[in-house]
Amino acid sequence: MRLFLCIILAMFWSIPAAALVVDKDTLWTGEQSFSEDVRVLPGVTLTIAPGSVVRFTDARLEIAGQLVANNVEFSGENWDGLILKGSDAATQLSDCIIKGAATGILVQGGAPILERLTLSGNKVGIALRGKAAGRVANCRFIANRKVGLFLKDDSTTAVVDCYFAENSRYGAYLYHARPQAFQGNTFVNNATGLMIAYHGTDPEVNDNRFEKNDIAIQVDRAARPVLRNNLLRDNQTGFHIYRRSDPLLTGNRIEGNVVGLLVAYSSYPEIEGNDFVANQTALKLEFQSSAWEALRGAAARAGETSSRSAFGGQGKRSVSEDDRRARRLDGTVNAKGNWWGDVGTAELVNIGTAGNPSFIHDGRDQATFVDAGEDFPLDKVVHVPWSDVPFTESKP
C-alpha cells in the first residue's frame, strides 16, 4: 500500500499540474504546485503529509471526499482556497497555514474538524455555510483583508479558543448562524471584532475577550443574540447595539473603553448584571428615541421587509415588520441592576436615584436630536436600582 501511495505521490512531485481529478486515495508530500483546479471525488481521501507545501496559481482545491492534512502550508497566486463540500468529521485539518486566498477554507455543509490553523492574508479566512456543523478550534485569524471567520446559512459550527487579530473589517461575522458554542475566543485590534447581524441571527456568545478593537461587538439589523460573560477592554466602543437590535447583555465586564456601550437607532437591549469599569462613557444613546420609532421606524424599514431586487440594495429574508417591531416603547432603555464601578457607584450614592450620572449620555444630557427637520426626544436610561457589588472579577 505504501509503495502504491509513494508511486502516486511521485507522479505529482513538484510538477505544475494540469486539471486534476483525484479519484482514488492519494498521498501528497513535499512541494506541490498546481495551476488548475484539483478535485477530490466523493469517497476518496486525499492525505497531505506533514511538512508539505502546496501552491495554487489561478486554481482551487475542491474536496468532495475527505482531506487529511497536518502541518501543511497552502498558498498561491490569485487562488480561491480550499473548498470542503459536505465533508464529515473524517476531514481534519490541523496545524496548517492557509494564506493569500480568496477564501482560505470554504466549508459547504458537512462537519469538518479544523484545529490550530493559521489563516492570514486571505480575503476571508474561513467561510462556513450550507448548515455546516463541526468545529473550528484554536485557530488564528490574522490580517485577513475582509473577514476572519464568516458563519452563514444556519451553520452551527462550534468556534472555540480562536484568536482574531488585525482583520480589516470583521474578526468574525455571524449571519443567520447559531454556533453550537462561540466561546473562549480572543479578538484584538480588529476594525470590528465580532459582527452579529440581521434578524434571525440569535447566537449565544459567551466567555470571549475583546481588546483594542475599534468596535468589540456590533449587533445590527434586528439580531437578538445573548452576550454573556465576555470581557470588553480598551476598545474604542465596547458593544455597539444598532438598528433595532435587542440583545441580552449579562455578566459582561466592560472596562476601559472610550464608550462602553453604544445604543442607537431604536435598539432596546436588556442590560443587566454587567460591570462597567473605568470607561470614558459607560453607556451612550445615539439617535435613539421611542417617539421616532413609533412614528417612523416601520416606514424606514419598509424597503427591507420585501424581497426587492438585489440591485435595489436589499438582502431578502422572510422577515416581517412584526418580527422587528419594538415590543416596549416607553422612552427608556433598561439598564437596571448593573455595577458601575467604584467611582461610578460613589457618584450614584452622591447624586441619589433621581440624579443624572456623568457616565451615562442620554436624554438627560441631550434632550432631542433632529431627523428630517423634526426634533425627537432622546430616550433615557433606567439605571436604578444599581448593584453595589461587581458581578465579575478583574482579569489580567
Partner 1 sequence: MKSTLTKYIILILTIVLSACTPDSESGLSGQLLFQDQPLAAAQVEIYLKADKDRSVQPFVVATTDAEGRYNISLPEGLYFVIGKKRESTNDNRTRMLMAESPANPHQVAEGMTQVATFNLREMGREGLPMADASTGVSGQITHKGEPVARAFVYIYTETETGLIGPSYGEAVQTDQDGRFTINLPAGQYSLVARKRADGGRSGVLSPGDLNAQYPANPVEVRSGERLHLGDFHLTGVDAEVYARRQAEGVFTKTDTMLHGQVIDADGQPVSKVYVFAYLDSRMVGKPVYMSVPTAADGEFELYLSSGGTYYVGARSAFGGPLEPGEWVGTFDAQPDHSITVVRGAKDDLGQITVREFW
List residues binding partner 1 (CB under 8 A).
19, 21, 39, 41-42, 62, 64, 78, 85-86, 102, 108-110, 124, 130, 146-147, 150, 152, 169, 173, 175, 197-198, 302, 305-318, 320, 322-323
Q: Of 151 and 271, which CB lies nearer to partner 1 in the complex structure?
A: 151
DSSP letters for 22-34: E-S-EEE-SEEEE
Q: Of 135 and 361, which CB lies nearer to partner 1 in the complex structure?
A: 135
Are the CB atoms for 124 and 144 separated by under 8 Å? yes
Return the closest-CA partner of residue 276 out of 225, 335, 328, 350: 335
Are the CB atoms for 174 and 199 separated by under 8 Å? no
Q: Closest approach of Cβ 6 to partner 1, in Å?
A: 26
Neighbours of 367 (CB within 10 A): 10
Are the CB atoms for 131 and 107 separated by under 8 Å? no
Q: Of 313 and 373, which CB lies nearer to partner 1 in the complex structure?
A: 313
Q: Of 323 and 388, which CB lies nearer to partner 1 in the complex structure?
A: 323
Q: Closest approach of Cβ 62 to partner 1, in Å?
A: 8
Three-state DSSP at 11 gives helix
Instruction: Report the Cα 354 to chain-centroid distance in Å.
Output: 38
Are the CB atoms for 104 and 128 separated by under 8 Å? no
Q: Of 313 and 396, which CB lies nearer to partner 1 in the complex structure?
A: 313
Q: Closest approach of Cβ 121 to partner 1, in Å?
A: 17
For residue 95, give every residue at least 6 positions away whose Cβ sits within 8 Å of its Cβ, in sequence order, or none: 70, 71, 115, 116, 117
Q: Closest approach of Cβ 35 to partner 1, in Å?
A: 15
Half-sphere exposure of 375 (CA within 13 A, CB side): 5
Q: Of 85 and 228, which CB lies nearer to partner 1 in the complex structure?
A: 85
Q: Closest approach of Cβ 262 to partner 1, in Å?
A: 18
Q: Cell for 356?
A: 443624572
Q: How far is CA 318 from CA 228, 250, 305, 363, in A?
A: 28, 29, 8, 35
Q: Closest approach of Cβ 131 to partner 1, in Å?
A: 8
Q: Closest approach of Cβ 374 to partner 1, in Å?
A: 20
Q: Of 109 and 363, which CB lies nearer to partner 1 in the complex structure?
A: 109
Q: How far is it, in rounded angstroms, from Cα 53 to Cα 289?
A: 56
Q: Closest approach of Cβ 80 to partner 1, in Å?
A: 9
Q: Of 109 and 341, which CB lies nearer to partner 1 in the complex structure?
A: 109
Neighbours of 77 (CB within 10 A): 11
Q: Cell for 34?
A: 498546481
Are the CB atoms for 195 and 174 separated by under 8 Å? yes
Q: How far is it, in rounded angstroms, from Cα 64 to Cα 68?
A: 13
